[in-house]
Amino acid sequence: MSTAVLAEPREIVHPPQEVEFERLEPMLRAYVAVLTGRLATVDDVVQEVFLRALQRIDRVRNPADADRFLRGIARMVVHETIRQARRSRAYIVLTAESLAVEDDAFEGRADDELLARLRAVLRRLPLIARRMIELRYHDGFSAAAIGKVLGIRPTAVRVTMLRIRERLRRDLNRADPAR
């Protein structure tokens, strides 16, 4: 007579029925638009986020955490999209156009060299850091507004911006041939 031990049945976890992705779509669209910086890619990225979210819906234990769940997936999808775009020649053209500066705004060879070094240093920053710099200095957002867009506290925005500026200063000084 065999004495086979039966495993206890695993608890079947059903996704919370209260998660309403439709309600979170405007937040997700705004978040993706901030991360990508290009409105043309928002629809594709949001669709991919929702597809991946539905595949992983069992990981959402509390419906109140659904927005953080979607933002996490969105960050991953945006990073993948950017990596794919960088591999294409179209990315180089778009980046050059977005970084184009009017000729009369910066005069002289020294300014051109400084601008080129600054662009190189900015390109090495992580995606979120570049978006924070753009939101602050290009769009004029406050720390509270940046925090609201990115889903983090204003204090965290201020500390992160301080660290980003320190890194930019350090990297620019390192790249400066005069120093």
How large a percentage of the chain has pLDDT more than 90?
Answer: 2
pLDDT tens sequence across 104-161: 444 555 567 777 888 888 888 888 888 888 888 877 888 888 888 888 888 989 999 9
- Residue 172 has a CB neighbour count (10 Å cut-off) of 16
Question: Half-sphere exposure of residue 54, counting CA atoms within 13 Å on the CB side?
Answer: 8
What is the reported pTM?
Answer: 0.43
Q: Which pLDDT value is given to residue 40? A: 76
